[in-house]
Structure 1
Amino acid sequence: MSLAPRAVLVHRTTEYEELVARHGTHGQAAFFLASRGRDIEEVAERHRRTHRALAQVAAAVPAAWRQARVERADLDRFLFAPEDVVVVVGQDGLVANVAKYLAGQPVVGIDTDPGRNPGVLVRHRPEDTAALLTGRPAAEELTMVEAVADDTQRLVALNEIYLGAAGHQTARYRLDLEDDGGVVEAQASSGVLVGTGTGATGWLRSVWQERGARLPLPAPTEDRLLWFVREAWPSPATGTSLVAGELPASRRLRLTVESERLIVFGDGIEADALELTWGQGVEVGVCGERLRLVG
């Protein structure tokens, strides 16, 4: 006998909850914001909208289904099952946060604050939940990016992967493109950014636009990535000839560390980073897994 589907509602702690936790009471949080020219009611109203949306989504889950909730901070400890349908209730970034923990489960993005969120990944309203869960509309297969170190550490991201030094120090490494005639360049830079078509709506796009790149941005479902070296420094020992390019599914970008510590993190979550040291190598390219985003 097969298990009934489980709806896993993913959410995050609201700004209001964080403020009250930090300052102890609503009144103290209100005083803190007022001293900085802000009104707590704006934050409290967004909190109420989020919890109304969560309640509406939970009520729309079919009665025969099982149901679970997980907060963003607990994602790395939550065990997703093959029969799960993941319902992300919140912002676009929350979809990216959950993507790396999944293995093909469909994801439904519910926007709790239309007009404030871009709605690139949270495309639906709370009132759409029942139809989305029971009707099972087609899902897009969004390309993801992965970094694999030579010690088997692995990191997966939906938007982009950053490789560089922690803080604002200079990253030192050797960069080469797999199957590109053996061209290798020692570099000193602010790091390397490798992004997907989904990431082309965020950080990757800002670098692409600033650089005036002629390479077309990839589509979210396209098996192609773009990469950029940020602020490469020319010197007698370091070059600037390999600073941008694209990676189809058949190619990898390889970095060999030439400093005491480099980090690799995805989707802006530096707390969940790979750490590499002298002589270690890491390859970045299109990930074999996809994020199945409903609608």
Structure 2
Amino acid sequence: MSLAPRVVLVHRTTEYEELVAHHGTHGQAAYFLRSRDRDIEEVAERHHRVRGALAEVAAAIPLTWRQARVERADLDRFLFAPEDVVVVVGQDGLVANVAKYLSGQPVLGIDADPGRNPGVLVRHRPRDTAKLLAAAGRAAATGVDELTMVEAVADDTQRLVALNEIYLGAAGHQTARYRLGLEDDGGVVEAQASSGVLVGTGTGATGWLRSVWQERGAQLPLPAPTAPRLLWFVREAWPSPTTGTTHVSGLLTTTTRLRLTVECERLIAFGDGMEGDAVELTWGQSVEVGVCGERLRLVG
């Protein structure tokens, strides 16, 4: 007898909850916002909309199914099971935050506050939950987009996976120093000093990657979310007698990888803005970045 599916509701603490936790009471939080010409009621209203959406989604889960909840801050300590159906209630970025911890489980993105989110990844409304769960619970769910992800693998086996992008650079605002090369570039390697390297997917092309692409006026076309391609950019490469600026952007496919060898005391790599879950690299270590073999299965 097989286990009934488990629905894992992923959410994050609202601004209102953070304010009250920090200031102790609703009244103290309201006083703090008034001193900055802000009204707590608009923050509280958004909180109630998000909590209402979470309650509506939970009520739509079949009674015979199991349930679990996990807050964004606890994702790195939560154990997802193969039979899970993951329901993200919140913003687009929350889907990206959970993607790195999954291994093929279907994901439903529920927009908790329509009108405030682009809706690229949280494509559905709470009222659609029951129908979507019924489809996702079948053995071969249809209407699922297989979104390309990016991975970084260090020479000490540390591994990082992200849905939007991976950033490699110095912690803080120091200059990152490294040697950069491509596997298929005839062994050409360039020493660089820069603000770091950004490697992004087609999903990330709606965010940070797109801003760099626009600013650079890049001729490379942005990949589609399901395309097995990545774009990479070096940010603010610095020319000097010992560092170059020749290799500052490019395309990665399933057969090519970008390789960085650290030439400073400490570099970090983190994905999708989650700096607290970073890979740390020291002098002489190498890391390769490329298309991940796993994909995020997002229910369309």
- TM-score normalised to structure 2 length: 0.98
Q: What is the CA–CA distance in structure 1 between the aligned matches of 2:18 and 2:257, rounded to whole Å?
A: 40
How far the C-alpha of 1:135 sits from its partner, in A, is 2.6
Q: What is the CA–CA distance in structure 1 between the aligned matches of 2:289 and 2:197, rounded to whole Å?
A: 11
* 2:178 aligned residue: 173
Amino acid corresponding to residue 229 of structure 2 in structure 1: R
1:87-125 per-position Cα deviation (integer Å, ceiling 9, x unaligned): 000000000010000000000000011110010000000
How far the C-alpha of 1:263 sits from its partner, in A, is 0.4
Aligned pairs for 1:186-265 within 5 A: 186-265=191-270
* 1:18 aligned residue: 18
- 1:115 paired with 2:120, answer no
* 1:71 aligned residue: 71
1:250-277 per-position Cα deviation (integer Å, ceiling 9, x unaligned): 1000000000000000001111111101
* 1:30 aligned residue: 30
Number of residues of Structure 1 aligned to a counterpart in Structure 2:
295
Residue 145 of structure 1, aligned match among 141, 144, 150: 150
How far the C-alpha of 1:147 sits from its partner, in A, is 0.2
Aligned pairs for 1:23-62 within 5 A: 23-62=23-62
How far the C-alpha of 1:210 sits from its partner, in A, is 0.3
Residue 190 of structure 2, aligned match among 185, 188, 194: 185
Aligned pairs for 1:85-104 within 5 A: 85-104=85-104
Amino acid corresponding to residue 177 of structure 2 in structure 1: R
Secondary structure at 1:96's aligned position in 2? helix
- 1:292 paired with 2:278, answer no
Q: What is the CA–CA distance in structure 2 between the aligned matches of 1:23 and 1:93, rounded to whole Å?
A: 26
CA RMSD of aligned residues (A): 0.6
Secondary structure at 1:227's aligned position in 2? strand
How far the C-alpha of 1:63 sits from its partner, in A, is 1.2
Secondary structure at 1:276's aligned position in 2? strand
Amino acid corresponding to residue 64 of structure 2 in structure 1: A
TM superposition outliers: structure 1 runs of 4+ over 4 Å = none
1:237-257 per-position Cα deviation (integer Å, ceiling 9, x unaligned): 000000000001110000000
* 1:279 aligned residue: 284
* 1:267 aligned residue: 272
* 2:139 aligned residue: none
Secondary structure at 1:217's aligned position in 2? coil
1:7-53 per-position Cα deviation (integer Å, ceiling 9, x unaligned): 11000010000000000000000000010010000110010001100
Secondary structure at 1:87's aligned position in 2? strand
Secondary structure at 1:271's aligned position in 2? helix
Q: What is the CA–CA distance in structure 2 between the aligned matches of 1:162 and 1:79, rounded to whole Å?
A: 25
Amino acid corresponding to residue 69 of structure 2 in structure 1: R
How far the C-alpha of 1:138 sits from its partner, in A, is 1.6
* 2:164 aligned residue: 159
- TM-score normalised to structure 1 length: 0.99
Amino acid corresponding to residue 246 of structure 1 in structure 2: L
Alignment gaps of 5+ in structure 1 = none
How far the C-alpha of 1:64 sits from its partner, in A, is 1.2
1:171-227 per-position Cα deviation (integer Å, ceiling 9, x unaligned): 000000012111100000000000000000000000000000000000000000000
